[in-house]
Structure 1
């Protein structure tokens, strides 16, 4: 007989444990797994969104958080001993959001320089194709 929870059965062992969940959009959530269904949809309790920039991090409280299973890239249990001894420095939410914004701006600037260099060499990777050009 087919078990409808076969693909997510291992998640049942993680109920009430503190998990780290990496989402497709790059966000990292940390919270207690309270519920899971056959689609691997998750309900996290006492959830925080953790933002890392270099060796610094900041936590944004999110409360109860529902995550669609299709958005989960990675999840795992957090070891309380290792969490206490992490080599990262906690900073305020405002400071980490500012650092994240600066990091994203720097990456965008680097991408623009790379595109400019490629364009000068005759490679315009960002050129949009017309539908007519494809046929």
Structure 2
């Protein structure tokens, strides 16, 4: 990947959370980024939060190393690890994040 000098370069080696254009929530350590916002994450997890009226449990899937294409990145930001550790993610319920892609 080519070297990138945008604002995300400051978050290399930091824990980040990414919401993708198809509504997935990913979290991992940012290893590299390029000028097209392609991301390489390590120790990546995907969280699936169930809706308020669902009895299904939330899911956390370990994905490991992940190359995420830049055109799938909707938003990303650094995770406050202390605050994140205080959240019981298995008890969180919420509305589904819909796709932002228009076909």
Same fold (TM over 0.5): yes
Select the structure with the greater relative contact order (CA < 8 A; seq sep ≥ 6): 2
- 1:82, 1:17 → 2: CA distance? 15
TM-score under structure 1 length normalisation? 0.58
Identify, as 1 or 2, the structure richer in helix.
Answer: 1
Identify, as 1 or 2, the structure richer in strand.
Answer: 2
What is the total number of aligned residue pairs between the two structures? Answer: 87
* CA RMSD across the alignment: 2.3
Q: Which residue of 2 aligns with 1:65?
A: 66
Report the CA distance between 1:87 and its aligned residue. 4.8
Contact 2:4 / 2:33 at 8 angstroms: preserved in 1? no
Which consecutive residues of structure 2, in runs of 5 or more, have no partner in the other structure? 97-103
Q: Which residue of 2 aligns with 1:52?
A: 49
Report the CA distance between 1:58 and its aligned residue. 2.0
- 1:42, 1:76 → 2: CA distance? 12
